A and B are shown apart, each in its own frame.
Chain A
Amino acid sequence: DTGVSQDPRHKITKRGQNVTFRCDPISEHNRLYWYRQTLGQGPEFLTYFQNEAQLEKSRLLSDRFSAERPKGSFSTLEIQRTEQGDSAMYLCASSLHNEKLFFGSGTQLSVL
């Protein structure tokens, strides 16, 4: 499978715990995006990388959130001290430059 892959598919955690998600983009894609989607809403932009550089962060990305793409390939999104309001689907997407985005299947986070 050469699409965007995300791991894990589902994560259940207790409030206050830290969680980390991984995204592997399509191999030749230089841009990588993180979005968050809550029930009944469309995806909301969180941040994006061009190669290893994080070029933009949404104000939705509080200090508890950090994203990295150290070698310009895979990316991780970490949420520290999770809150119930963090429960959502976290979607990763990649693209070649400014072309069509390809989304992964997402990581569904449930914070109890």
Chain B
Amino acid sequence: RKEVEQDPGPFNVPEGATVAFNCTYSNSASQSFFWYRQDCRKEPKLLMSVYSSGNEDGRFTAQLNRASQYISLLIRDSKLSDSATYLCVVTRSGGYNKLIFGAGTRLAVHP
């Protein structure tokens, strides 16, 4: 079993839709949590960190449930430019040391 599990998708949604991605992690000692975005044939880039209290950045909202070992990402008012693969990431220590990536969830936003 992989340490970080995600639904691979693809999620095909129209512009303006709200879409939610889920992720589970198996190591209860995981300390830090992130969502990364990766465009096709490009490097991954940090989208946002995820905090226990939940956090929002514009149209993006991330939630963490430590008891269930579950992380979510909500995208509101989807744009064509949101089309990408979204990678759920955890670390076993605080900060960014040794990131452990999920396989990613692919999102395709269509007109």
A: which residues have CB within 8 A of B?
31, 33, 35, 40-45, 48, 56, 91, 95, 97-101, 103-106
Report B21 CB to chain A, min CB distance, Å.
13
B42 engages A41 (CB within 8 Å): no
Q: Which of B65-94 contact A (CB under 8 A)?
A: 87, 89, 93-94
Residues of B participating in the A interface, judged by any CB pair closer than 8 Å: 4, 8, 42-46, 87, 89, 93-104
B39–chain A nearest beta-carbon distance, Å: 11
Q: How distant is the Cα of A31 from the Cα of B96 in the complex, in angstroms? A: 11
Contact B44 A43 (CB under 8 A): yes
- Name the one of B43, B46, B99, B101 contacting A104, with C-beta atoms under 8 angstroms: B43
Among B93, B96, B102, B103, contact of A101 (Cβ-Cβ < 8 Å): B96
Q: Is the CB of B8 within 8 A of A40?
A: yes
Contact of B43 among A45, A91, A95 (CB under 8 A): A91
A103–B8 Cα distance when bound, in Å, is 22
- B97 with A41: CB separation less than 8 A: no
- Shortest Cβ gap from B105 to chain A (Å): 10
